[in-house]
Structure 1
Amino acid sequence: YDCLSSLSTLDYPGDKLEILLVDNGSSDGSGEYVARHFPDVRLLRLPQNMGFARGNNIGVQAAQGEYVAFLNTDMRVDPGWLTELVRVVQSESDVVCVGSKILSWDGNALDFAGGALNFYGMGFQPEESPSGEADTPYEVLFACGGAMLINRQVFLESGGFDENYFAYFEDVDLGWRLWLLGYRVLLAPRSIAFHHGHATGKRFASEKRALLYERNALYTVIKNYESRNLSRILPVALLLTAKRAVVFSHCDKRTFRMESEPPPHSIWPASRGPAPLAMGHLRREFRQLLDEFGPWAVFKEAVRRGLRWIYTRTVLQVRRDVALVPRVALSPLMALDDVAEALPQIWARREEIQRRRVRSDAEILPLFRAPFHPHPPDPAYLELQQRLAHLFQIDALFEEATRNENAGGRRLTWNGQS
């Protein structure tokens, strides 16, 4: 309700505006509610949840305007939101996509002002805006797909959101691809949207979200780097994916190493009954028990041995063979499996993108802003990331790109030239 109501207050000319709502398989009656209370909204109903990427692609194909603005339903917008997006996208011919500044629902916290990307494909929002001038548009690697505007023809010709992603990081991939194809993406700080705290994502289990983050980050890396850089970065990205699985599992790695095997210990605590029996034939041992301690001792020892037999083949075996780990720790491994199975399709998409490349990685890498931001911020993980980045000369790759930019290359300014 808040989202559509805020659109009714836009200062953009109503006769030039088409509002289309993609109902992505909802079952809570929201489609019927919109049809009753917002009759001017064009409702496009999908039979099931097809994901953010495909749902929006279907919406763009059905739209009729020269530009398409995306807005998530957990957003509301400032009256000048759309006017400012259109003004900025029409300012220069190579600007085809413009993102909004996104604040928290109450407007007191920054949610998005031009995201950052680390070298293995994990996108995030830094705490501060990259531009010192609050109202001046500036270049960003990608706009947030929850509140942005793009030239419709360019969106379709460039492939739109990659539907293999389902959700998460598809806007990162699109922005990177637009730069690669020779276009520019800007952030318009005066176009303001307010976000209701990731309400959509919270409906899904953490391991499902983590799987999409992990898998889609690898998809983005595989498709968009130049070949010479991909050969450096992909091995490290894969190794760090495995490391994240270990970090999230909270397992003690020493329990998996033969060289650090703990000393053998007794399964049972010391008995208060008869002294340890001499090794030998079972019948002789029980006869000795009977002679020395009587029938009750034989019965207790038989029960004790029976329980021990059951324990060693059930509980102890489970303790030895099964490690209890959080489900989210398996998400990186599931992501690797997804990438392996989808690799032929992803690689074909990569080849298509690389054939159309206009800009080199060296021109795009400075837009990452924080290429060595660790995910997760675990000390052991960060130490490994740093060692691998140095070993594969990834740190040198980004340092060189930054030096070239500072020496007079492409500048991140409103009227900068590529």
Structure 2
Amino acid sequence: MIGSRMSTVSKPPAPTPRVAVVTVSYGSDDVLGPFLASLPSASRQPLHVVVVDNKPAAFTNVVESLTTSAGATYLPLPSNRGYGYAINSAVRELEPEIDWVVVSNPDVTVNPGCIDILLGSVLDSAIAAVGPRILSSDGEVYPSARTVPSLRSGVGHAIFANYWPKNPWTRNYRKESEIEAVRRDAGWLSGAFLMIRRSVFDQLDGFDESYFMYFEDVDLGYRIGRLGLRNLYEPAAVVVHTGAHSTSTHDESAGMIRAHHESAQKFLFKKYSGPWQRPLRLLLAVGLGLRSRLEARRSPR
């Protein structure tokens, strides 16, 4: 009798998710180099890196030089139509094989292994976006995984945060007591650095380009939640946000304060859009307008 051998058929290894990293420069010559230099150690796999330039130089283009020297793709835009528009423009040009898109500010350095840790935390197909622990340059934790602004948490935070920092609305909105070491779901993740599933980003048509700056990340997280999907905070992954793009003049600072409050109003009007909520929207507009003017007066001179 001739015996037969049982052959063992092994499954092929699961393909490694392909990751693209997209950042937007607006005169970011001083910070782009350290950001690009930190990326190779952030993952064991090659990363497809795109630098979108919202302020391309006419002559000596340092941003282009830094980008090409790092082996990244340089994408200059003819005009500055905002952060969300720039990110969307880059993602539309990515190869269809890209599974995840890392969205990052250029004034960030990425700790070794950060992107691999984020990928390793995505154990549920319902997780659409994941964000790391974000540290300031002096080591303080930035509250990057917050609840979606509501009439209680968002508005209470807006009114009292600068005068009563430990108020209950700010604590609920920022979730500051939970952010340092606990993996958890969030309402939205900071656009300073987050990784989003490409298929979900495409399904949502990317960032809402009606936000020129600020709140496009809040809006994205909110829309992810409305799809029944998850935004996950993973504190084991770490990036450092230097904040080098803070403004120094009163006019610049006041302009950014106005833009922030205008974007906040846009988001809250979108969330509370029912005809019966028109009086509420009027109150929100008055309150945010007053706060914007007060904050502009307090900005550095």
TM-score by length of 1: 0.53
Structure with more of its chain in strand, by fraction: 2
User: Which of the two has higher C-alpha Rg?
Assistant: 1
Q: Does 1:211 align with 2:211?
A: no
Deviation at 1:200, TM superposition (A): 5.3
User: Superposed, which structure 2 residues align to 1:111-150 within 5 Å?
Assistant: 111-116=142-147, 117=149, 119=151, 129-131=176-178, 134-150=180-196
Q: Percent identity?
A: 25
| Alignment correspondent of 2:69 | 37
Cα root mean square deviation, aligned: 2.9
User: Superposed, which structure 2 residues align to 1:18-417 within 5 Å?
Assistant: 18-27=48-57, 29-38=61-70, 40-64=71-95, 65-88=98-121, 90-106=122-138, 108-116=139-147, 117=149, 119=151, 129-131=176-178, 134-199=180-245, 205-225=252-272, 227=274, 230-231=277-278, 233-244=280-291, 247=294
Structure 1 gaps, min length 5: 250-325, 329-418
Distance in 2, matches of 1:248 and 1:129, equals 23
Distance in 1, matches of 2:89 and 2:259, equals 21
Structure with more of its chain in helix, by fraction: 1
Deviation at 1:327, TM superposition (A): 11
Distance in 2, matches of 1:109 and 1:246, equals 29
TM-score by length of 2: 0.72
Distance in 1, matches of 2:269 and 2:175, equals 29
Tell me the alpha carbon deviations over residues 89-139 of structure 1, each in whole angstroms, 9 at most, x when there is no partner.
x31121101112110124x2112341353535678986763427x544201
Distance in 1, matches of 2:53 and 2:294, equals 38
* Alpha-carbon distance change, 156 to 49 in structure 1, aligned in 2, over 3 angstroms: same
8 Å Cα contact 1:177-1:224 kept in structure 2: no
Distance in 1, matches of 2:281 and 2:48, equals 42
Distance in 1, matches of 2:248 and 2:203, equals 33
Give the SS at the match of 2:43. coil
8 Å Cα contact 1:21-1:41 kept in structure 2: yes
Tell me the alpha carbon deviations over residues 260-286 of structure 1, each in whole angstroms, 9 at most, x when there is no partner.
xxxxxxxxxxxxxxxxxxxxxxxxxxx
Deviation at 1:47, TM superposition (A): 2.1
Distance in 2, matches of 1:210 and 1:105, equals 23
Deviation at 1:245, TM superposition (A): 5.7
Instruction: Give the counterpart letter for 1:71 in structure 2.
Output: S
| Deviation >6 Å, runs of 4+ | 121-125
Residues paired across the two proteins, number: 246
8 Å Cα contact 2:68-2:74 kept in structure 1: no
8 Å Cα contact 1:176-1:224 kept in structure 2: no
8 Å Cα contact 2:184-2:232 kept in structure 1: yes
Structure 2 gaps, min length 5: 1-32, 162-169
Distance in 2, matches of 1:43 and 1:210, equals 30
* Alpha-carbon distance change, 157 to 222 in structure 1, aligned in 2, over 3 angstroms: same
Distance in 2, matches of 1:83 and 1:111, equals 21
Distance in 2, matches of 1:55 and 1:92, equals 29
